């Protein structure tokens, strides 16, 4: 990996925080976070490719309230860094980056749940003192929650990348013969997940669905002709 682990871990912490805590500007979305990680690792294009695949896969799990969902921010940093980290980028790196990111998203979801439980315990402990007039506890709880979230994302990113660093080059070499098959599978899975998620999210209006079908047919025609 061309970049050192520290800046990538810091990026993982920052985008991990953006998912929920601050500022929710959605630079934690895969298409942004993976591209940033790719750029930091020396190949923004590889990061973007990983980010686009992950963005399609992330479309069905949106960060809705109290539900437990995968954490795509730090996961996308892992995906982008793995895809871009062993230049020149091979298709194997791209797929292994996507696998590493999906695993990290799952782990990240659990780590967010644990953080929320911890925030809850801190909040309950502070309750009586807050009601008694210790108003500075409000700022302290916010600061503690934000710091813990940053650390969560940074440690998760660094941990997964530390494991991936020795494994990915060797594995990428072993799967080189089936690279095209894996990339096709990744693209097809991304397209299927994104299409089904959009269909469920959009209003069930026949006219709109017809417009979407026409747009899809036109895009397929453009894709085939290019």
Site for another protein, residues 73 to 92, rule: CB under 8 A:
91
How far apart are the C-alpha atoms of 125 and 117, rounded to whole Å?
Answer: 12
Q: Which of 6, 114, 162, 218 binds another protein (CB under 8 A)?
A: 218
Which range touches another protein (CB under 8 A), out of 4-12, 154-162, 216-224? 216-224
Q: Which of 27, 81, 86, 164 binds another protein (CB under 8 A)?
A: 27
Q: How many residues are recorded in the chain?
A: 226
Under the criterion CB under 8 A, does residue 167 sit at the interface with another protein? Answer: no
Under the criterion CB under 8 A, does residue 216 sit at the interface with another protein? Answer: yes
Give how many residues touch another protein by CB under 8 A: 112
Residue 86's SS3 state is: coil
How far the first Cα of the chain sits from its last, in Å, is: 34
Q: What is the DSSP letter of 41?
A: T
- As measured in angstroms, the least distance from the Cβ of 222 to another protein is 7
Under the criterion CB under 8 A, does residue 206 sit at the interface with another protein? Answer: no
Under the criterion CB under 8 A, does residue 61 sit at the interface with another protein? Answer: yes
Per the CB < 8 A criterion, the answer to whether 61 and 69 are in contact is yes
Residues in region 129-148 near another protein by CB under 8 A:
130-131, 133, 135, 138-139, 141-146
Under the criterion CB under 8 A, does residue 37 sit at the interface with another protein? Answer: no
Cα dist from 99 to 31, 80, 128, 155, whole Å: 16, 11, 46, 19
Q: Can you point out the beta strands (E) in the chain? A: none
């Amino acid at each position: 990996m061309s970049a050192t682990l520290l800046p990538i871990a810091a990026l993982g912490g920052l985008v991990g925080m953006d998912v929920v805590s601050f500022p929710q500007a959605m630079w934690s979305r895969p298409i942004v976070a993976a591209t940033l990680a790719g750029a930091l690792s020396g190949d923004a294009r590889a990061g973007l490719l990983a980010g686009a695949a992950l963005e399609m896969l992330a479309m069905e799990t949106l960060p809705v309230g109290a539900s437990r969902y995968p954490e795509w921010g730090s996961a996308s940093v892992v995906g982008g860094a793995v895809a871009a980290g062993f230049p020149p980028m091979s298709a194997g790196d791209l797929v292994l980056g996507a696998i590493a990111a999906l695993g990290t998203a799952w782990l990240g979801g659990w780590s967010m749940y644990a953080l929320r439980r911890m925030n809850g315990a801190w909040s309950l402990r502070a309750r009586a003192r807050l009601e008694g007039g210790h108003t500075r506890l409000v700022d302290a709880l916010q600061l503690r929650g934000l710091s813990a979230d940053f650390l969560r994302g940074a440690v998760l990113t660094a941990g997964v990348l530390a494991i991936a660093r020795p494994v990915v080059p060797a594995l990428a070499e072993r799967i080189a013969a089936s690279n095209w098959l894996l990339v096709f599978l990744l693209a097809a899975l991304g397209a299927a997940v994104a299409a089904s998620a959009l269909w469920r999210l959009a209003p069930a209006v026949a006219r709109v669905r017809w417009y979407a079908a026409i747009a899809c047919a036109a895009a397929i025609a453009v894709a085939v002709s290019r």
